[in-house]
Structure 1
Amino acid sequence: MPWEAYSGLLNIAGTWMYEAELPVGLYETMAFVATTDRLLVFDTTNQETRETIRPEGGEPISTLTRGERNRAAPPVVTEGASPLVLAPFLIRQAGVGTQAARDSAELVATDAKTGKVAWRLSLPLPDWAKGAPEPLTASVVGAAGNVAVVTLAHKGTVFTNASTTYAIDLTGRRVLWSQETFRAATIAGGVVVGEKKKTASDDYSTSAGYDLTTGAERWQGQEHINLELRPAGPNLLHLYARDRGDYRIVYRRFLDARTGEVRQNDVPAASRCRQDGASVVVCWGRDQVVGVDATTGAPLWQLPDEKAGRIAPQVTTVWHGRVYAKTANGTVALDSRTGADLPTPPVIAPDLLNAFTGIAISNSGDDMTAYQSAS
């Protein structure tokens, strides 16, 4: 794989240094590798970079050189007969005459089948981002139907609450609506779900859902401190937060992302959750793995299991009823419904997988390799 896919993300032990997502999107045998200043269209069948796509509205605010950490969010590949690959860039437009230089975001939509740019859309930065003391991030949270969701936010630690979310009409190529001080986390059942603040400097935040096409508020939860939201399958949201009145009280819940209704309380902590493509969501983090029902969030199995003498593996991805993972004994695959070890271990534990291609850390531990998926 191109070095941009893993630059600054692997440690000397051949494992991930951060919990960041792999900055890659897959469409059949094509891998779309994002950085803050370019999108590579990489053919995994012949190791050829077919296109290098850059923003055209101005110069990228930040660039990536080899060895630096790639902070780009993964591009999003839309579904349907004419799939697009969506990647945003933060750019600086040069001043002309009396017009001062200004920053903006440029959303680039690439045809997933051809690797050619289909269209571009400029997004003006919100007022809070102008002259901001910390660098910005731009990410495509997801897409459903003909609408995509883009979030701009600070990546620093002083003003981490500042964020704006945009809903983009992919057919009309325009902004449908935007919401200030709202950081989107996922899309579920026609609802954009994320963290909402009253103001950018507010210490408290709530989980909230907005209609995907109109931006109308659909629901809003209670105010919390240290709120963290993670998508957990098609309709669930994993919530971690502390009580506003008593910091010692911790909430860990599965919410119905469409309504905000609490599905399960006291769920395991998780840094990542993935649906298995059927009826199970697998969540992992902090040396534990749990499988839950994708509809209700009810637990199905959990590792480690001391009674059975089983440890928690290091999960890499979940796909088509299988949990791919690593242990000190080698790679393993688990049945996502039962958590049982499958009889034949996989050759690799992929970090990203579709029906055509799997991408995994190489045996050397210092780069990444694309493999043909087993039929």
Structure 2
Amino acid sequence: MVATTAVTAALILLAGCGGDDKKSASGSENNGGTTSSSPTPSAPAFPTFDPPKAFTASAAYPVPDYDGRAMFDDPLVGMVGQVALVANYRGITGRDVVDPSTAWEVKSTAADTTTVSDATKPMAVKVDGKDVAVMAYAEVDKGNGTQKPQGLVLVQWIDVASGQKLAEVSTPVSTVDGTFGSPELKSAQYDPETGQVAIGFSAGDRLIVKTRFATVYADPMTKKSTVVPGVLPGAVHNGVFAGAKAETKENANDAGAVLVDGASGKVTKQIPLKQGSVEPLTGGAKHAFFYGTLYSSNTMKDVGSLYSVDLSTGAVVKSAPGLPDGGGYDCTSDQAGSIVCWDSVPTGHHEIFGFDDSTGKKTWGWTTESGQRVVPRVTAASHGVVYVQTEKQAVLMDAKTGEDLPGASPSGTPSGSPSAGETPSDSDSPTAGATPSDQKSAGGSDMSLYDGKLGSPGAVSPYGGVYTQLPQGGGFGSSDIRAVLVYLKPTA
């Protein structure tokens, strides 16, 4: 990826927010450096639902473009507690949805000699009981004085209530010659209960640990990291992570998995899967999930298999994917015992399926070849609900069974007027649209930016959901806006 250098436009969710880090648009900064705003007397209670099953489009914020943005630097959304998040290579910005006048920004790097080449989505965790967003960045430090350029993996833990960094760990991972050797993030796993992360990366043949890829394990409590060579993470929980390990040599067919003690970096268990290649998917509190392929001389094709690995014992459960020639899978956890996966190939046949984290077994799934149901695009999952998008509408699904969930009755706009959006069916639509208006709120929302076509949320919490749409309508000129962040207020 092309490294980002200049940052002349602030990555802010609103038009009127100042450019200083962690500063409110209309509030003041106290001695502790946190954001604040004047309290509103007798404010109505904010609706929360866990998980939310119906929404109304409540706010739309411009995400400004900035000079020097890399080609692949697209906005990444998150929802942590009552704070809506959007991030890219420049950094992460938060907007309190209960008090929209409060906003903050934390930049990915403060050094002029450092550029960012990759970033993860915001990850929602708890640290000391606080709602915390975790961001990981791949960076290149061009060097200061006699120091040689080096690649870094930077991890930040940010208290979303204040916009303050609770912890930050920067780990050298590669040597750099020009753009060659810049780290590329391959897999990001996190423990929502502890904030511990395992970030997989590669950097050609320039890794300090002399392997093609490796994992940085980092802990917000110790503020320390460990580099584990030759492993890409599939799950992390309570200081232990499971990872995929490649073949020892070409055609050895001995690719497998390992269990690793994160703090020491010591491999505590080798788990042979006897595959040609093994890719990490994602994991829950009890299992990590992997996709393995092995070349068959009979069919002259790769045969795919799905594996779960128990994080405590290393026990393995094997199952078969629905597509004979799958090209890989992406997965997400609902943080309540279910893992939902879908094929990562944009063309051809498609597949969706679910795992039970308590058993490690595949429990449901279907493909476009079965002809019974449409394979939707998964956008998020939370506490038993999977949020998906079909060609026509947003849909809710049961994370345990894969069945469609009944949608709530269409909700109104924030003012109570009828929706101008597409009318959802009573059987499978979780959301209702809002009528765009030219009115701009004091908190920086501009609903004229909203296109009126409500989409499935890309991230959710009990306080609602967020997603991005392409810019259109009023506000900034379209060339000044990279995207529009749409906030969905929960109604059921």
Superposition pairs for residues 126-165 of structure 1, below 5 Å? 126=174, 129-131=175-177, 133-138=180-185, 141-143=189-191, 146=194, 148-151=196-199, 153-154=201-202, 162-165=212-215
Q: CA deviation at 1:331?
A: 2.2
- Name the structure 2 match of 1:355: 462
> Does residue 248 of structure 1 match 2:296?
no
Q: How many residues align?
A: 352
Q: CA deviation at 1:28?
A: 1.6
Aligned equivalent of 1:288, options 333, 337, 351: 351
Give the alignment's TM-score, normalised by structure 2: 0.60
Aligned equivalent of 2:160, options 112, 125, 133: 112
- Name the structure 2 match of 1:14: none
Distance 1:144 1:93 in 2: 33
SS of 1:78's partner is strand
> Does residue 218 of structure 1 match 2:265?
no
- Name the structure 1 match of 2:87: 34
Tell whether the 8 Å contact from 1:332 to 1:341 is kept in structure 2 after alignment.
yes
CA gap 1:218/1:113 in 2 versus in 1, 3 angstroms: same
Q: What letter is aligned with 1:172? A: T
Q: Gaps (5+ residues) in structure 2? A: 1-60, 66-71, 344-348, 408-428, 432-454, 473-482
Aligned equivalent of 1:124, options 161, 168, 172: 172
For the aligned residue pairs, the C-alpha RMSD in angstroms reads: 4.0
1:330-351 alpha-carbon deviations (Å, 9 max, x no partner): 2222233333322321114212
> Does residue 79 of structure 1 match 2:98?
no
Q: CA deviation at 1:107?
A: 3.3
Superposition pairs for residues 30-109 of structure 1, below 5 Å? 30-44=83-97, 46=100, 49-57=103-111, 59-62=113-116, 71-80=118-127, 81-89=129-137, 90-92=139-141, 94-96=143-145, 99-105=146-152, 106-109=154-157
Distance 2:370 2:218 in 1: 50
Q: CA deviation at 1:147?
A: 6.3
Distance 1:350 1:329 in 2: 15
Aligned equivalent of 2:289, options 229, 238, 241: 238
Distance 1:300 1:241 in 2: 19
Q: What letter is aligned with 2:228? A: Q
Aligned-residue identity in percent: 19
Distance 2:133 2:191 in 1: 10
Tell whether the 8 Å contact from 2:387 to 2:395 is kept in structure 1 after alignment.
yes
Distance 1:234 1:56 in 2: 35
Rg larger in structure: 2
Distance 2:165 2:404 in 1: 43
Tell whether the 8 Å contact from 2:140 to 2:182 is kept in structure 1 after alignment.
no
Q: Gaps (5+ residues) in structure 1? A: 6-17, 64-70
Distance 2:229 2:307 in 1: 25
Distance 1:147 1:277 in 2: 13
Q: What letter is aligned with 2:119? A: A
Distance 2:130 2:384 in 1: 27
Distance 1:306 1:202 in 2: 31
Aligned equivalent of 2:489, options 358, 361, 372: 372
Aligned equivalent of 1:173, options 217, 223, 228: 223
Q: What letter is aligned with 2:457? A: P
Distance 2:292 2:257 in 1: 10
Moved more, 315-324 or 50-59: 50-59
Distance 1:154 1:308 in 2: 39
CA gap 1:318/1:125 in 2 versus in 1, 3 angstroms: closer
CA gap 1:60/1:39 in 2 versus in 1, 3 angstroms: farther
SS of 1:3's partner is strand
Aligned equivalent of 2:383, options 320, 328, 331: 320
CA gap 1:186/1:297 in 2 versus in 1, 3 angstroms: closer
Give the alignment's TM-score, normalised by structure 1: 0.76
Distance 2:119 2:64 in 1: 10
CA gap 1:371/1:184 in 2 versus in 1, 3 angstroms: same
SS of 2:121's partner is coil
